[in-house]
């Protein structure tokens, strides 16, 4: 099946620091999404991207749809303790196929 390579696998950061994570694919995607999963819960949609080059913000979160359509980036500014969780990228290469998920980036914030 299709693979999404998400990095880094885990991060430990100080509260207040900015965070960057990314996702790459060997094939082109038409849609990129970023989800966050809190412990014991299902993933929750953060940002959806539908066009190459698109840059979208949601509060302190900013995500970009790479111009090659094979990658996407998520940035979190001024991290706070509640940012702790697992962040997943997900991609879809056509309207007929379900989402493919990356393996996640586990974020820990040290107060």
Partner 1 sequence: NAGVTQTPKFRILKIGQSMTLQCTQDMNHNYMYWYRQDPGMGLKLIYYSVGAGITDKGEVPNGYNVSRSTTEDFPLRLLSAAPSQTSVYFCASSFSRVNGYTFGSGTRLTVV
Q: Which residues bind partner 1 (CB under 8 A)?
A: 1, 4, 6, 9, 30-31, 33, 35, 40-45, 48, 50, 88, 92, 95-96, 98-104
Taking the complex as a whole, the smallest distance from the CB of residue 68 to partner 1 amounts, in Å, to: 20
Q: Which is nearer to partner 1, 14 or 98 (CB)?
A: 98
Using an 8 Å Cβ cutoff, are 37 and 101 in contact? no
Cα 104 to Cα 1: distance, rounded to the nearest angstrom: 17
Cα 90 to Cα 66: distance, rounded to the nearest angstrom: 13
Taking the complex as a whole, the smallest distance from the CB of residue 6 to partner 1 amounts, in Å, to: 8
Q: Which is nearer to partner 1, 18 or 51 (CB)?
A: 51
For the chain, helix (H) and strand (E) counts, in that order, are: 0, 11
| SS3 category, 99 | coil
Taking the complex as a whole, the smallest distance from the CB of residue 72 to partner 1 amounts, in Å, to: 14
Q: Which is nearer to partner 1, 9 or 15 (CB)?
A: 9
Q: Which is nearer to partner 1, 30 or 77 (CB)?
A: 30
| Sign of the C-alpha dihedral computed for residues 28, 31, 32 and 35 taken in this order | negative
């Amino acid at each position: 099946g299709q693979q999404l390579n998400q990095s880094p696998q885990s991060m430990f950061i100080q509260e207040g620091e900015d965070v960057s994570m990314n996702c790459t694919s060997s094939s082109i995607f038409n849609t990129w999404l970023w989800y966050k999963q809190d412990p014991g819960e299902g993933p929750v949609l953060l940002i959806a991207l539908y066009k190459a080059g698109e840059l979208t913000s949601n509060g302190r979160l900013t995500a970009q749809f790479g111009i090659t359509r094979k990658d996407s980036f998520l940035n979190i500014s001024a991290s706070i303790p509640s940012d702790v969780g697992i962040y997943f990228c997900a991609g879809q290469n056509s309207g007929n196929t379900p989402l493919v998920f990356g393996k996640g980036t586990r974020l820990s914030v040290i107060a």
